[in-house]
Structure 1
Amino acid sequence: MDILEFAMQMEKDGKAFYEKQASGTTNPGLKKVLLSMAEEEERHYKYFKRLKEDPDDINASFTGAETISKIQNIFEQMASNPKGVQFGENELSAWKEAFKLEEKSKKLYEEQAAKEGDPKRKALFIKIAGEEQNHIYMIDGVLMYARQPESFADSAQFKNFRSLEGWGRD
């Protein structure tokens, strides 16, 4: 299977995973984060599809800075009422699973970049790995919030969340 086809399938699976988790949570903030992540996966899928049709089109960004801003705003709302957000064991397990999946994806793309001889495709894999790293940061933020909701708003991770905008796109 071609790596782009594989990546497209991974993004489809990721979207389905996030949508399923969103349908299973009663927390509006978490639901918004999950749906934002599903939108990201859809954006990535479309990007890979476009690349399959035109392999030279690797310069377009495929994580919208607006997604990071949207998730930042959701975290701000959740941090303003830390006792209002409860995580059940199923939700925590799902977020931990998502974290592992994103790490696995990132590693795959880094390995592909290391093997690739064509500089354009190598740059593509590095870019994709950077996008997966953005997802890892977002999910890690959710997990950190789940562990310490009262102190999350004061954490360096929360305060520097916007610094992720543009990460991995060079």
Structure 2
Amino acid sequence: MNNWKFAIDMELDGEKYYREQANINKDNGLNVVCLMLAEDEKKHAQILTDKMNEKSFQLIESDTLLKAKNIFEGIGNIKTEGKEISSQLDFYRIATEKEKQSIDLYKEYLAKATANEEKELFEYLIEQEKHHYEVLDNIASLLLKPEEWVENAEFGIRKEY
């Protein structure tokens, strides 16, 4: 399997994963974010496919990070049952690992790239995947805030009895 095909498959696997997670989380705020991430991964796969087939392609900046921040501001802390938080944290861990793998792969490809067009493509994909990582980091913060507050409250200043 060549590098292009491997990268395309990785992006398509990411799209599939985010769509599955959107379906699992259709009753909470993760649904919209997962669908946006899935669309980004689909676009990345198309760009890579076009490059592999020597077709022209456009590197269009995604507004997923901005949209996700707006969604996060609107929902505040994610309030769910303990079991749901656990599964959402599992989602976060798996998804961030996938994004890290993508970043590492594209950095490796960037280091080997000789043509300017390829370098620009891999720099673009690295930035896109970093944005995805930031979106996921925001999700984790929202999931953990209520839990951390309870844990930290026991160390707060208390009135004497």
Where does residue 128 of structure 1 map in the other structure?
Answer: 125
Change (3 A) 1:145 1:116: same
Change (3 A) 1:63 1:11: farther
Whole-angstrom distance in 2 between the partners of 1:7 and 1:106: 11
Whole-angstrom distance in 2 between the partners of 1:83 and 1:35: 18
Structure 1 spans left out of the alignment, 5+ residues: 152-170
Where does residue 14 of structure 2 map in the other structure?
Answer: 14
TM-score for the superposition, normalised by structure 1? 0.75
Alignment of structure 1 residues 21-170 onto 2, 5 Å: 21-54=21-54, 57=57, 60-65=58-63, 67-79=64-76, 82=77, 84-85=79-80, 87-148=84-145
Q: Is the 8 A contact 2:15 2:42 kept in 1?
A: yes
Whole-angstrom distance in 1 between the partners of 2:87 and 2:135: 19
TM-score for the superposition, normalised by structure 2? 0.79
Structure 2 spans left out of the alignment, 5+ residues: 149-161
The structural deviation recorded for 1:55 is 5.4
RMSD: 2.3
Does 1:5 find its partner at 2:5? yes
What letter is aligned with 1:53?
N
Once the two structures are aligned, what percentage of the paired residues are identical?
A: 28
What letter is aligned with 2:49?
K
Whole-angstrom distance in 1 between the partners of 2:61 and 2:46: 11
Q: Is the 8 A contact 1:47 1:62 kept in 2?
A: no
Q: Computing the radius of gyration over CA atoms, which structure comes out larger, 1 or 2?
A: 2
